[in-house]
Structure 1
Amino acid sequence: MSLVDQINKKRREIKTDGYPMSIGEWVSMYEREELDIHPEFQRFYRWTPAQKAGLIESILLGIPLPPVFVSQRSDGVWDVVDGLQRLSTIFQFMGILRDEHGKRMDPLALEGTKYLPALKNVLWDDMENPKRALPKELQLVIKRSKIAASIVLKESDESAKYDLFQRLNTGGSELSPQEVRNCLLVMINKSFFEWMKELPKYEPFIVTTALSDRPLEEAYDVELALRFVLLARISEAEIKSIGDVGVFLTDRVSDVAQDKRFRRGEAKQLFEDTFGVLAQTLEDDAFKRYSTKKRRHEGGFLLSTFEVVALGVAYNIAEGTLCEPKEISKRARSIWSERSFTDWATSGVNASRRLPRLIPFGRKLFSKVF
């Protein structure tokens, strides 16, 4: 198929529309529950009070805003694909924003901005102190301001909105790759997302990974749990065809989340069995560098060690071939003397080259027939 034919085929699969809408119209759709802004996503977005005030400032000054991308569902409701934070900020300022439990959130009190310092402490309405309330004429300015809607129509291919969400929310976004995946999972299968989110709360996992605050804020613990679920039993032939690992994780978890045959109970049991035994044998040294000279573990969590130790132990638990527990810590430390590990575990080796070597290495290392 030629490039032109491929383009024409895909263009036919994605039906779009678009037109300008007033903020008042966006508000009406939200209040009639014809607009789903996915309040579950709020935990992933980290707009500062200054960014929120800056948005309101832009609207009042007449600065054009980017369009909001939505996907039209079969029931006619619009799913917000990109523009969540803009709409959430506006709705919170107006005092109508609801959290994921349907409870109204506290109204947003603005900060002063570069061009409008008098916005400091301003609320949309304040019955007790009317001087803090935004004047009615400025409320009308906001309600009448336009934000274009770009709509992926329900006639489009089902995967279109997920692809669109990922493209619009990566590259330059403040979200980490896993936070984008989490948002996708909420859209695809909220129940699966909730299940995935619970896995890294398992105490032995917390102990063995010993992650610092920053990775936890960016949902890296969920990414590690996801890597475990997707890679623990993967065939070696599949490992070699992974390519870009970020793309693989996103595509594969989208498939798994929609697969009714996926056995969550078995995956959870393997997760708990693996980190249970690692917590008993290695504790918080499980995924740290081991200095053969100093004979001690040093530094913080290393992904390459996780790929060998956690995935190697998991595979052998599942196969019934795991070595004796007393051997696990000794073998985990031995990898730092093995060139078959150290040559591929450096920061300069990308994951698509690293995984086909380290995962099989870990499976063999922790086998009782090693």
Structure 2
Amino acid sequence: MPLQEEIDKTRKEIRTDSYSMSIGEWISLYENNEVNIYPEFQRYFRWSDHQKSAFIESILLGIPIPPIFVSQRDDGVWDVVDGVQRLSTIYEFVGILKKDEQEEDKEQEKDDVPVSLQKTTYLASLEGKKWDDPNDPENSLTQTQRLLIKRSKITVNIVEKESDPIIKYELFLRLNRGGSPATPQEMRNCILVMLNKDLYELMRSLANYESFRNCIALSDRLYEEKYDMELVLRFILLFDKDQKNIEKLGGDVNEFLTDKVREIATNKELDYRHIETAFKRTFDILNETTGDNSFKRYKSEQDRFLGKFILSAFEVVALGIGYNYKNLPTTNLISDKIKSIWSNQTYQKWSGAGVNTVRRLPYLIPLGRGVFSAS
């Protein structure tokens, strides 16, 4: 298809609108449940208290605020695609942010305590200021200051409901790929929430599955970066993938995972029960046999597992057992088969430092399928 035809066709699939709205109107939309800021996003895109105070300072000083991007649902409600922190900062400061959208680690008894601002670059007197605290009027904004905020305007860019449903995903990805503080998997989690909440919930439940957590034994940092969810995603995408498609894998692994999230999230025929059964069977077996040694380096001369979690071992062991979960060797052989992988020439060649993750998968995945086949 010629370029101009592609441009014309795709432009017709994207219906948008934009206009300025006062912060008072944004507050009213939220109070009436007409805008959704996704609690899941709030956990991934978290501003510091200083950033929140600086944002309120910008509003008071009349500094232009970047537009909020929303996607309109069939029921008319707006899903916020970009601007979660800006809106949640306003709602939190005003005192209307819903409790289930507060940070998970916030103490329950502090939920109703008015938010206090910090000193900022141009407004040192903002320190300790609150929206409107009847018990502390001296440190509350005046009515004039509150109205100044409520009458300030923020542009909204709307992807209308008539647009191609996947446009919301594309918009989120392109707006947040740049300076986002989120990790690639946190970004993918947000995409999943938008495209397929059921799949997101399944992945989250699998990531919390006790046998899985026992076997991967990740550091606190990796859990914070949602690496456990990335491992769940890798399993779902690859454990029963057709061999011909495995041979075609290539490119950057993060691009591959992100592209495939979109693909499986929109797959109407995705077999959730098959995925859950294979996953739980895999990690129940590993938890019973090798536990937190399942993906660690095996030293034959010492007959022991050493070190930390190794992804290439996961790609052979977890994906190999997952593929064969209906036809596995007896449980007492699993540990010996895991140990044998470390002396396997294919594994040694394709698991070393510097080997591109996606390039090694066409070699490591078939290796695992062969090792853990009962036939």
* Aligned residue in 1 for 2:264: 256
Match of 2:142 in 1: 135
Contact 1:40 1:100 in 2 (8 A): no
Q: Which residue of 2 aligns with 1:39?
A: 39
Q: Which amino acid aligns with 1:25?
A: E
Q: 2:276 aligns with which of 268, 280, 295?
A: 268
Measure how far apart 1:292 and its partner are.
Answer: 4.0
Which secondary structure does the structure 1 equivalent of 2:350 belong to?
Answer: coil
Query: In 2, distance between residues paired with 1:237 and 1:247?
Result: 20
- d(CA) in 2 for partners of 1:190 and 1:298? 38
Query: RMSD of the alignment, in Å?
Result: 2.2
Instruction: State the match for 1:348 in structure 2.
Output: 354
Aligned residue identity for 2:333: E
Paired residues for 1:206-285 under 5 Å: 206-243=213-250, 244-285=252-293
Identity over the aligned pairs, expressed in percent? Answer: 52
Cα distance, 1:119 vs. partner? 2.0
Secondary structure at the aligned position of 2:192 is classed as: helix
3-state DSSP of counterpart to 1:290 = strand
Partner of 1:317: 325
Give matches, 1:303-314, under 5 Å: 303-314=311-322
In the TM superposition, what is the alpha-carbon distance from 1:294 to its structure 2 partner?
A: 4.2
- 1:147 counterpart SS class: strand
Measured in 1, the distance between the counterparts of 2:152 and 2:301 equals: 67
Query: Partner of 1:11 in structure 2?
Result: 11
Could you give the per-residue CA deviations for residues 85-133 of structure 1, whole angstroms, max 9, x where no partner exists?
1100011100111144899954422222233232222210111111121
* Paired residues of 2:249 and 2:359 also in contact (CA < 8 A): no
Q: 2:133 matched to 1:126?
A: yes
1: CA distance between counterparts of 2:93 and 2:17? 29
1:139 shift after superposition: 1.3
Residue 116 (structure 1) aligns with: 123
Aligned to 2:69: 69
> CA–CA distance in 1 between the matches of 2:344 and 2:309?
19
AA of the residue aligned to 1:325: T
Residue of 134, 143, 161 corresponding to 1:154: 161
Displacement after TM superposition at 1:345 (Å): 1.6
* In structure 2, distance between residues paired with 1:190 and 1:336: 39
Task: Determine the C-alpha separation between the residues in 2 that align with 1:329 and 1:129.
Answer: 65
Of 164, 177, 180, the match for 2:187? 180
- SS of aligned partner of 1:343: helix
CA distance in 2, matches of 1:97, 1:175: 22
Q: Could you report, residue by residue, the CA deviation over 1:312-334 in whole angstroms, capped at 9, with x for unpaired residues?
A: 1111113x1x2232322222222
Question: What secondary structure, in the 3-state scheme, does the structure 2 residue paired with 1:69 have?
Answer: strand
Structure 1 segments unaligned to the other structure (5+ residues): none
The farther-off stretch of 324-333 and 83-92 is 324-333
Letter in 1 for 2:366: P
**Distance (Å, rounded) in 1 between the aligned partners of 2:353 and 2:59:** 45
C-alpha separation in 2, matches of 1:293 and 1:52: 56
Cα distance in 1 for partners of 2:215, 2:204 equals 17
Alpha-carbon spacing, 1:99–1:252, altered in 2? closer, same or farther (3 Å): farther
Residues 243-277 of structure 1 deviation map (CA, whole Å, 9 limit, x = unaligned):
44334433433343444433322321211111111
- Matched with 2:105 is none
Residues 85 and 343 of structure 1: CA distance in aligned 2, closer, same or farther (over 3 Å): same
**What is the count of residue pairs matched by the alignment?**
367
CA distance, structure 1, for counterparts of residue 124 and residue 333 of structure 2: 65
Residue 58 of structure 1 aligns to which amino acid in structure 2?
S
TM (norm. structure 2) is 0.91
Give 5+ residue unaligned stretches, structure 2. Answer: 103-107
| 1:205 lines up with 2:212 in the alignment | yes
Q: Distance in 2 between matches of 1:352 and 1:65?
A: 40
Report if the CA contact (8 A) 1:178-1:220 is conserved.
Answer: yes
CA distance in 1 between partners of 2:100 and 2:169 (Å): 21
Q: Is the 8 A contact 2:88 2:97 kept in 1?
A: yes
TM-score, length of structure 1 as denominator length = 0.92
Q: Which amino acid aligns with 1:172?
A: G
The reply to whether residue 26 of structure 1 matches residue 26 of structure 2 is: yes
2:21 partner SS: strand
Partner secondary structure for residue 125 of structure 1 = coil
| 79-88 vs 105-114, greater mean Cα deviation | 105-114
Maintained 8 Å contact 1:71/1:153: yes
**Partner AA of 2:84 in structure 1:** L
Q: What is the identity, as a one-letter code, of the residue corresponding to 2:270?
A: F
Confirm or deny: 8 A CA contact 2:42 2:101 kept in the other structure: no
Moved more, 243-252 or 147-156: 243-252
Aligned equivalent of 2:368, options 358, 362, 370: 362
> Residue 242 and residue 151 in structure 1: after superposition, are their counterparts in 2 closer, same or farther (change >3 A)?
farther
